[in-house]
Copies of this chain bind each other. A is one copy, B any other.
Amino acid sequence: MKKHFLLVTTLLSLSLGTAHAQKEDSLTIRKIYDEVLEHGKSYEWLRQLTSEVGPRLSGSKGAEKAVIWAKDLLEKQGFDRVFLQEVMVPHWVRGKKEEAFILNNKQKVAVPLVALGGSVATPAKGITAEVVEVHNFQELRALGEDKCKGKIVFFNRPMDAKKISTFEAYGGAGDQRRSGANEAAKVGAIGMIVRSLSSTLNDHPHTGSMVYATGVPLIPAAAISTNAAELLSKSLKENPSLQFYFKQNCETLPDVLSYNVVGEIKGTEKPDEFIVVGGHLDSWDLAEGAHDDGTGCVQSIEVLRLMKNLGIKPRRTVRAVLFMNEENGVKGGQKYAELAKQNNEKHLFAIESDAGGFTPRGFGIQGGSANDLTKILTFKDLLDPYGLHEIGKGGGGTDIGPLAPLGTILIGFKPDSQRYFEYHHTPIDRFENVNQRELELGAASMASLIYLLDKNF
């Protein structure tokens, strides 16, 4: 009887203890959201970054300005430490604006086209050739040199609209942009154009990176808008021997010294263990990089500000890392992991926000044990009231990826994805397309998760 009584009281006190901890966590998370929704700073910081710094492709003056801006901003917050990490980054420049036309009989229709990042230029007089439309590499290979030699290969497989996650649709179409030029060159094409990776029909060509394979001729690669892709495809059906002209003036200059920008709050108990939250500071050159990835940068800084401001003292050191060169090289992400390894820094978790500043839906977890995942899933009840319903396997992030071999658990912040690929890598990825509350909720989501991770692991 006594034994039973003991067991009951022990269980009771344990469960009261848990209930008490849950209550405390719930109040802390509520405080984080209150602070962000009433006094959040990330929106104003994003306004500064997009308007005062603007486009900031790796190696550009804009990227240099962004580093100074970010370091200055972090220093003003009075965090425990702010520092730069040197990293050499590629320096690709677009040069003079591209030109492109469909030449159909006597008609000459201008087409919105942008060079893909990393591409070579066309000859000075441009390229004029017939067009072979294909939808995947298999189809291209089946056509072979016979049908493709001396022509421009046109990849026209759209993002699959049926995918609920537009990132899945993007993933399913991305090979055309990344490797299309190599595949086209292998069958003798002299140029490659790709339908923009966009979730809607519009007139904005989307740039993005491509990488030349070794041993394959370097042919110029460009993206045309989705509307132009539809038009070109239709025109080809009417006149298979129409010609396409494009001229681009891009070039790759020598690598440039640049920086990751890091701010940190020292851990009270385990200062040598780290939790990272980050986004990438570089953007494409066409726009001011609001959703990609200004939002991830300002949210990461806001996470630290929230902790400091609310007196949340993390047991581990929490770092906001603004990575350089996600778009065309990931040199910043690689350097960060290299230094972490070199300095024997134990990185428990790294969270990346690089999917836009939209309403938070959850987190994707990559790495760690089944037990780790189970523990993270116990946070569900605390995060549910804030719309964070999608917590599970998946996720990660390009910049934090290189930390995986160090045993770090990688977490991708998952905002709602419906609008992202309208803006992604286009001139309309602008501040006015970011919603203040949606952005702020993202910062609060990540701050809450870090609070829970730090406390429970």
Contacts and interface: CB of A to CB of B under 8 A. Distances in A.
Contacts of A162: 33-34, 37-38
Contacts of A37: 161-162
Interface stretch (A70-78, A325-333, A368-376, A433-441): A433-441
Chain copies in complex: 2
A37 B166 CA distance: 12
Nearest to A419: B435
A389 interface: yes
A416 B419 contact: no
A317 interface: no
A104 interface: no
Contacts of A34: 162
A55 to B, nearest CB: 24
B386 A389 contact: no
Contacts of A361: 387
A309 interface: no
Contacts of A422: 435
Contact of A435 (B386, B418, B436): B418
Contacts of A243: none
A199 interface: yes
A59 B416 CA distance: 39
Contact of A386 (B164, B199, B387, B437): B164
Given A390-B389, A436-B200, A437-B199, A164 B33 contact: yes
A448 interface: no
Interface in A34-71: 34, 37-38
A311 interface: no
Contact of A161 (B38, B359, B418): B38
13 contacts: A33-B164, A34-B162, A37-B161, A37-B162, A38-B162, A161-B437, A164-B386, A164-B387, A200-B436, A359-B416, A387-B390, A416-B416, A418-B438
Interface of A: 33-34, 37-38, 161-162, 164, 166, 199-200, 359, 361, 385-387, 389-390, 416, 418-419, 422, 435-438, 441
Given A34-B162, A387-B390, A419-B438, 5 more contacts: A38-B161, A199-B437, A389-B389, A418-B435, A419-B437
